[in-house]
Structure 1
């Protein structure tokens, strides 16, 4: 990350410096160009105005005499500029300075020709004996068609160039200041960007190592803040996925352990009885029949486990297709209760079935509804040793409420949320006395939800449990649909 920080610093520094240098450079060039043009134009216009005023003052004088020289000297002091007069031959015949050494020198022929034709001339004069160029304006000397020569007013270019030099120096200092300021700004911006990036990098590394509880602590509200929020959201999802993976792994391990246990118990019993029969240890026919009965019972237990597992797997994989028709719940309840009545009587239990009058039908799979009730009754008979088991049906708003109530051992509060899990048994300490696969209630939950229903349980330890199944009742149906019922 340090290399990234340095890279960001370099890129920002070069970008800012290039922007400042190019911007100030272009601005300086344009400013110098336009300023030079403006100063030159202003000076030229000013000199032209002065030259015309000089001509107004001396246009009636065509000879160089003391009076003319005095006027030139006076105008020199008034305008603070040098004044030269040249004749038609282009020779300087008079100057505003008495000790002027350029008297008798010649001006450029092109300038003299233009002025004698009545035109103004603006140029950088190169006068014989004058090393430095001068900004000069030339106007005709005279009035109308009477031209005696020309009037030249000039100002040294050196002063203007000095002004340009000062401007360039100011621009240079401004550029240096901009470079220093840019460096300071780049350092701050680089720090403000690289600091949260380093935080994000450290957090991402922790997440990469599997620490999905790590979060990025960035308070900025810009793109970096959005990146931090995205990484935090990703970490939350990964944490949930990891938790779900651990849960599924635990479920898988529990599943394998439970299946192994449920299979080992009957297989071990059958193995022992078979070895005894093979070794001839059981000679009495009555004893052998008992051994056969036990082995048959254990075989049926394994068969029930396999059937329950297959049903649960199909339900969880959405491989069960319901054959839905209008179902009379009371008729199914009585039929299921009849198949368990003998078992209940053998245990000294009273099995009661109650259903409200004129109950509407439900649109469901009749065999699967019967399977739900059988599993609930089987569970109630398993854990009830005295009292009664009551199976009731009634309306609850838009639901058909089916309840299986027993007076058995009850369920502890800590186990209420887990009884719907596969292989979970509330009688773990007495599993040898009450055999079962631990899949019955898990199948009930899957079947009820497949019918878009709800299953609940209420229990008081030592007093009994009440299982409630809510299934949606049929809406008002056409006559033809009602005739399809059993």
Structure 2
């Protein structure tokens, strides 16, 4: 992560610096070029205007005399320019300066010829005797078409150069400031990016190690925050998948252990009785018949276990097809209550049935509904030692609500979420007394949901349990099919 941070810092730094340097550099060059061109053109035009004014002042003088020299000196002070006059031969005949170092010298023939032909000339000259370069303009000296020679005005350009030097210095300082500012901005930006990325990396590492409870905590509102939220969502999904995997693994292990136990117990009993019969240890016919009855009972227990397992597997794999028809719930409940009354009477229990008048029919598989009611009543009889089992049914809007309530041992609050699991038994300490496969409620739940219904349970230890089932009426089923 540190290397990534450094890489981000370098890329941001180089991009910012390149932007600043190139931007300010190009801007500085363009400003210098256009500004210098503008100032030079302005100075040239000013010198040309001044030269024409000088010509107006002296165009009545054809010869150099004291009066002309005095005029040149006055004009020099007025315009702050050096003034030269040259004749038709290109020789300097007068200057506005007191010394005469340039008098008698010749100007460049190209300039002289151009001026004598009536044209203006502008040039930047390095004049012997002057340290600084001068900007010079030359115009014809004369009146009308009569030209006596030429007038040259010199103006030092050191002021312009000094201005451009200051401008370049300003651009340099601005560039330096931009570099420092860019470095500071890049440092902060890199820190603001790398810090949450480090958190994301640490969290991703922990998730990679299997710690799916780890989360990224970032308070910003940008793309990095979106990335962190995505990783948190992924971690939550992985955590749920891992929990589900552990749950399924536990269920699988419990399933194998329970199946092994449920099969081993009756098989061990059958094996023992068969060995006794084979060895001739049981000689009396009455005793042998008892052995046969026990083996038959254990065989039926194995058969019920296999049937329940097959039913549950088919239900979970959606391999059960319901034969739906209008079903009279009252008929199913009365037949079930009648079938279980002898078994309940042996334990001193009473089964009560309370059915509402004009109970609507449900649209369901009659055999599967009977299986639901039988499993619930069987559990009630099994886990109730004294008291009453009450079966009720009544309309509830577009549903028929059926309840099976007992006054038995009840179910602990911690066990309630698990009663729908395969082989789970709430009477683990009494399993020898109450034989069963532990699949009844799992099958009931699957059958209720297959009918688009709902099942709930309410229970208190020592006070009893109530299972309530809602199944759709014929009218509701038809309305659902019509939509």
What TM-score do the two structures reach when normalised by structure 2? 0.93
State the secondary structure of the residue aligned to 2:418: coil
Q: Check the 8 A contact 1:106/1:127 in 2, yes or no.
A: no
State the partner residue of 1:20. Answer: 20
State the partner residue of 1:338. Answer: 338
Coordinate RMSD, CA, aligned: 2.2
Task: String of CA shifts for 1:160-183, please: whole Å, max 9, x gaps.
Answer: 334333332332333233323322
State the partner residue of 2:371. Answer: 371
Give 1:158 deviation, angstroms.
4.3
Q: Check the 8 A contact 2:363/2:477 in 1, yes or no.
A: no
State the partner residue of 2:385. Answer: 385
State the partner residue of 1:484. Answer: none
Q: Check the 8 A contact 1:362/1:472 in 2, yes or no.
A: yes
State the partner residue of 1:53. Answer: 53
Give 1:300 deviation, angstroms.
0.9
Task: String of CA shifts for 1:233-278, please: whole Å, max 9, x gaps.
Answer: 2222222222222222222222222112111111111111111111
Give 1:395 deviation, angstroms.
0.9
State the partner residue of 1:298. Answer: 298
State the partner residue of 2:259. Answer: 259
Q: In 2, distance between residues paired with 1:388 and 1:186?
A: 80
Q: In 2, distance between residues paired with 1:390 and 1:193?
A: 68
Q: In 1, distance between residues paired with 2:186 and 2:384?
A: 80
Mapped pair 1:230 → 2:213: no
Q: Check the 8 A contact 1:421/1:442 in 2, yes or no.
A: yes
Alignment of 1:385-464 (within 5 A): 385-464=385-464
Gaps of 5+ in 1: 482-486
Give 1:196 deviation, angstroms.
1.9
Give 1:91 deviation, angstroms.
1.8
Structure 1 residues 358, 217: closer, same or farther in 2, change over 3 A?
closer
State the partner residue of 1:218. Answer: 218
State the secondary structure of the residue aligned to 1:465: strand
State the partner residue of 1:7. Answer: 7
Greater shift after overlay, 224-233 or 337-346? 337-346
Give 1:13 deviation, angstroms.
1.8
Q: In 2, distance between residues paired with 1:388 and 1:164?
A: 110
What TM-score do the two structures reach when normalised by structure 1? 0.92
Greater shift after overlay, 223-232 or 370-379? 223-232
Mapped pair 1:354 → 2:363: no
The number of aligned residues is: 479
Structure 1 residues 170, 352: closer, same or farther in 2, change over 3 A?
closer
Structure 1 residues 390, 205: closer, same or farther in 2, change over 3 A?
same
Structure 1 residues 197, 309: closer, same or farther in 2, change over 3 A?
same
Q: In 2, distance between residues paired with 1:291 and 1:466?
A: 39
Alignment of 1:138-217 (within 5 A): 138-217=138-217
Structure 1 residues 351, 218: closer, same or farther in 2, change over 3 A?
closer
Greater shift after overlay, 22-31 or 125-134? 125-134
Task: String of CA shifts for 1:388-440, please: whole Å, max 9, x gaps.
Answer: 43322211222101122233333334333332222121221111111001110
